[in-house]
Amino acid sequence: MSCDFLSLARPGVQKLSPYVPGKPVEELAREFGLRPQDIVKLASNENPLGPSPAVREAIAAALPELTRYPDGNGFALKQALAAKSGVNTAGITLGNGSNDILELVARAFVGPEHEVVFSDHAFAVYPIVTQAVGAKAVSVPAKDWGHDLDAMAAAITPSTRVVFIANPNNPTGTWIERDALEAFLDRVPENVIVVLDEAYTEYVETDDVPNGVDYLGRYSNLLVSRTFSKAYGLAALRVGYGLSHPAIADALNRVRQPFNVNSLALAAALAALEDEAYLIESRRINRIGMQQLEEGCAALGLSWIPSRGNFLAIDLGREAAPVFQGLLREGVIVRPVANYGMSNYLRVTVGLPAENQRFLDALKQVLARV
Ligand SMILES: *Cc1c(COP(=O)(O)O)cnc(C)c1O
């Protein structure tokens, strides 16, 4: 290579570690000579139920229009989201996954002169979008693996432009309660945008986790991001959205690619939103699977971080990497989280009961061996 192109990248980009996704089933099948149908993937917090029949039908119905550009304004989906959330369509931004929303916030509002605050052990995309725009990433030490909102508020300086908060957080599963969130929002200056990432909100069944939408009226600097990738079961299609003051949505829509959400994703998301039964079943499967995983871990003498998401961070009390490798050999893909500063932990997505059992059985075997 004649030129060191990485040296041409922005300094923040040079220092970034690329996002590490969960290992695809096909890749593991190739590496270990396994059959894809014998592999269990509990690595990316996807919905184990597969897409709802209503979604498949909506996609089939949208196929004849593939030669046309999608509706760049997502009119029908925004109408449905507005009806469901109570947020006016002018305050809705559609994204190619909610990751797109996070990136739009950085691109629209943050420059090299700014700081972006988030928590240690928080979602890996926050440092990526921050450093990509040349801003300074300020990662605040966590408290009991969760966001320390007092410390995060204290970390805000006149240079801070955005704060990212995940509630519940991935990969820890930790959550922020109503009083703590309100006290934090009260402390944040109005010119600092708070992104409340609620990727797992549809899985929350307890009333100790606030709904960010309830605060949009009171805090005009708040943006709530949501996704169809998790409980709605549409990770492959890439569709998410932001709910905010219309002025924030206006800025995001100026930098957004005109057709960032494709037409199959728009049709599928609309159908998913109307399929309440699928969501109820997803929550039920998650509830029983979470209990199964917790009981299985307890039986193995392992502890975990209590979670309000569809995944569990399990403390192996030792380096998790060899256990992760051992599980791969058993055809079970979970997620190592050393890149989140959690080298003794594995994050496991709640699957179907048989998948959870496969994982627990394999874990027992591997722990006895390595
Ligand atoms: C999975 C996840 C998302 C969703 O990403 P998409 O781009 O919508 O698939 C966002 N935030 C967190 C914390 C997540 O874990």
Bridge partners of 303? 315
Asked whether the beta carbons of 150 and 174 are under 8 A apart, the reply is no
CA neighbor of 338 nearest in space, from 11, 17, 32, 40 = 17
Q: Which of 197, 228, 234 to mutate to test the pocket of ligand 1 (most atoms within 8 A of CB)?
A: 197
Ligand 1 closest atom vs CA 239: 8
* Lookup: tokens for 126: 């926050």
* pLDDT < 70 positions in the chain: 1
Query: pLDDT tens for residues 91-131?
Result: 999 999 999 999 999 999 999 999 999 999 999 999 999 99
Query: pLDDT tens for residues 286-343?
Result: 999 999 999 999 999 999 999 999 999 999 999 999 999 999 999 999 999 999 999 9
The predicted pLDDT at position 23 comes to 85
The predicted pLDDT at position 18 comes to 82
The predicted pLDDT at position 1 comes to 62
Whole-number Å distance, alpha carbon 169 to ligand 1 midpoint, is 10
**Which residue's CA lies nearest to atom 15 of ligand 1?**
170
Asked whether the beta carbons of 18 and 340 are under 8 A apart, the reply is no
Whole-number Å distance, alpha carbon 148 to ligand 1 midpoint, is 21
Ligand 1 closest atom vs CA 240: 8
Domains of the chain: 5-50+277-369 (3.90.1150.10), 53-274 (3.40.640.10)
